Amino acid sequence: MTPESPNRVERILAAMMLATVGLSIVSFLAIIFGTLSGMGSADFAVGAWPAVAVLPYFGLPLAMILLVLMLVLNMRRRARDAAAARKGR
């Protein structure tokens, strides 16, 4: 019996996790390059910069929660596959 492929929920969680981590890394790099280009702390308080600065504070913990959730779902699926394989013998 072949193992079941990841279901739709697992693929969506993986995409959400990768997008969240990607956005957090891009915001880190934007702050670094902004600082290197001579922006001061007052410049980061206007426009979209406050959202860019806060994104990693929420994005990375959210990505960690999504990772744990993906692991739990994957373990449940594998246990179900193993039980089905034992039952099929």
Write out pLDDT tens, residues 8-25: 888 999 999 999 999 999
pLDDT at residue 62 in the model:
96
Is 7 within a domain? no
Is 38 within a domain? yes
Number of structural domains in the chain:
1
Is 66 within a domain? yes
> In terms of Cα–Cα distance, which of 71, 59, 58, 53 is closest to 17?
59
Name the burial class of residue 59, with classes exposed (0-12), middle (13-18) and buried (19+) by CB atoms within 10 angstroms of its CB.
buried
Contact between 77 and 7 (Cβ < 8 Å): yes
Is 49 within a domain? yes
Q: What's the domain range around 47?
A: 25-74
- Which residues are within 8 A (CB) of 21 and not within 5 positions of it... i.e. 6 or more apart? 59, 60, 63
**At residue 77, does pLDDT exceed 60?**
yes
Is 6 within a domain? no
Is 56 within a domain? yes
Is 89 within a domain? no
Q: What's the predicted TM-score (pTM) here?
A: 0.79
